[in-house]
Amino acid sequence: LLAPDGTVAATIFAEMTALAGRTGAANLGQGFPDVDGPDFLKEAAVAAIRDEPNQYAPGSGVPALRRAVAAHQQRHYGLQADPDTEVLVTVGATEGIAASIMAFAGPGDEVLTLEPFYDSYAAIIALTGATHRTVPMRPAAGGFRIDPDDVAAAFTDRTRVLLVNSPHNPTGTVLSREELTALAEQATANDVVVVTDEVYEHLTYGAEHIPIATLPGMAERTLTISSAGKTLSFTGWKVGWVHGPAELVTGVRTVKQFLTYVASGPFQHAVAKGLDDDGRTASYVSGLRDSLWQRRDFLVGALEEAGFAPLAPQGTYFVAADAAGLGHDDAATLCRELPELAGVVGVPISAFCTPGGAVAESLRSWVRFTFVKSPEVLERAVEGLQRLR
């Protein structure tokens, strides 16, 4: 968790947003929308602050939200959830992931993730004292994919937790049924707990998002995590949830109560309204998905024109693009220079890899750009990127 000089390192996202602030560059670095979610949910949050108690919420989350999460899992995926014992509200997906890893892994254990991986995973695994092992994702014509042989090779008799992420940050991959099956078969054979980060579950562009919990025999060993940040465009509310069998959720709740106890009572009421099926959310989310799909196509096309080799993502806010064709083989250096060269901020994919590892090396020239920005910001970025040629 320390920088090489011993100082406490800021997250790559905070660093890149600060860089954009200092230079005035278009911030295609940190993934957060520059337009908020729908007004009816802001009104719901205001009403909740006015009309509901502003004291600690129940430790598991407000009942209306737990019921809404259970209904969401049933409606979208046919997954059953008892709102009282099988749903836990957390401080964003981040806390759900942290508490799940802490509950089931410790010194001497191994936690398996895909690589590249979202930045909080490695930090939390390190905090538990467990060892982090990874399954590499490799760029191919259809996007970044995993190989069943690598999956089988990554499990050992010390593996306790498999942490999956689909749709995947930073590559935008939506894991296929075959890839998920390979993970599920090994998870079952090795009897591990599966934790799955599905915060981009509704932001897919033509690919089907399959929760790993829906595969045969998986619901009983899987903790499914998501949050309101991405689906509803309220990343600042930090309302997330964990859904899984009561026994596993009890383990997560036990840790979570000592991390934060509870947070965001009034926002939990608003998110409950957001997950309700009154049609307004569905139309908001489908409009958001369509608009992100267009922005994805716009940015992918512009990156190609500028000389990058992007791989069109099937989901998320992000596109990964290879800068090698532009003569830049070190994306970390390029990303420090990009504000001056092109007026743009991006994040090197190596920031999502084990430092100095084989995956970091193989993806050394790759940059992640986000397209969850307004058309004006994207156009400004795209104009700047053309200067790189």
Q: CA-CA distances (angstroms) from residue 258 to 87, 103, 253, 328?
A: 18, 12, 9, 46
Query: Which region, judged by CB under 6 A, interacts with ligand PMP, from 129-137, 235-243, 266-274, 366-374?
Result: 235-243
Residue 233 near ligand PMP by CB under 6 A:
no
- Candidates 134, 169, 181, 214; binder of ligand GLN (CB under 6 A) is 169
Q: Please, which residue, 124 or 154, has the CB nearer to ligand GLN?
A: 124
Which H/E stretch holds residue 319? strand 318-322
Residue 100 binds which entry of ligand GLN, ligand PMP, none, with Cβ cut-offs from 5 to 8 Å by kind? none
**30, 28, 19: which is closest to 308 by C-alpha?**
28
Nearer to ligand PMP, 94 or 214 (CB): 94
Residue 199 is a binding residue for ligand PMP (CB under 6 A): yes
Q: Please, what is the minimum distance in Å from the beta carbon of residue 320 to ligand PMP?
A: 14
For residues 99 and 45, what is the distance between their CA atoms, to the nearest angstrom?
26
Assess 92 for contact with ligand PMP (CB under 6 A).
Answer: yes
- Residue 344: which of ligand GLN, ligand PMP, none does it interact with, CB under 5 to 8 A by kind? none
379 by Cβ neighbours in 10 Å (0-12 / 13-18 / 19+) ranks as middle
The residue among 97, 56, 61, 57 whose CA lies nearest residue 81 is: 61
Binding to ligand PMP (CB under 6 A) within 162-181 occurs at 165, 169
Q: Are 193 and 102 in contact (CB under 8 A)?
A: no
The residue (of 11 and 386) whose beta carbon lies closer to ligand GLN is 11
Regarding 118 and contact with ligand PMP (CB under 6 A), the answer is yes
Burial 182-191 (b: 16+ CB within 10 A, else e): bbbbbbbebe
CB under 8 Å to 141, separation ≥6 — which residues? none
Q: Residue written as tokens 């100082």?
A: 7
Out of 33, 116, 240, 274, the residue judged to bind ligand PMP by CB under 6 A? 240
Interaction residues for ligand PMP, span 300-329 (CB under 6 A): none
Pick from 10, 11, 178, 287 the residue near ligand GLN by CB under 6 A: 11
Number of Cβ within a 10 Å radius of residue 42: 13
Please give the Cα distance from 370 to 352 (Å, whole number): 15
Cα–Cα distance for residue pair 370/13, rounded to 1 Å: 12
Partner from ligand PMP, ligand GLN, none contacting 11, C-beta within 5 to 8 A by type: ligand GLN
Q: Per rule CB under 6 A, is residue 240 in the interface with ligand GLN?
A: no
The option from ligand PMP, ligand GLN, none interacting with 264 (CB < 5 to 8 A, set by class) reads none
Report the partner that residue 92 touches, choosing among ligand PMP, ligand GLN, none (CB closer than 5 to 8 A by kind).
ligand PMP
Report the distance separating Cα 43 and Cα 100, nearest Å. Answer: 32
User: Which CB sits closer to ligand GLN, 30 or 214?
Assistant: 30
94 contributes a contact to ligand PMP by CB under 6 A:
yes
Contact criterion met (CB below 8 Å) for 305 and 386: yes
Q: Which of 20, 27, 31, 322 binds ligand GLN (CB under 6 A)?
A: 31
DSSP β-ladder status, 131-136 and 110-115? parallel
**Binding residues for ligand GLN, per CB under 6 A?**
11, 13, 30-31, 169
**Binding residues for ligand PMP, per CB under 6 A?**
31, 92-94, 118, 165, 169, 197, 199, 227, 229, 235, 238, 240
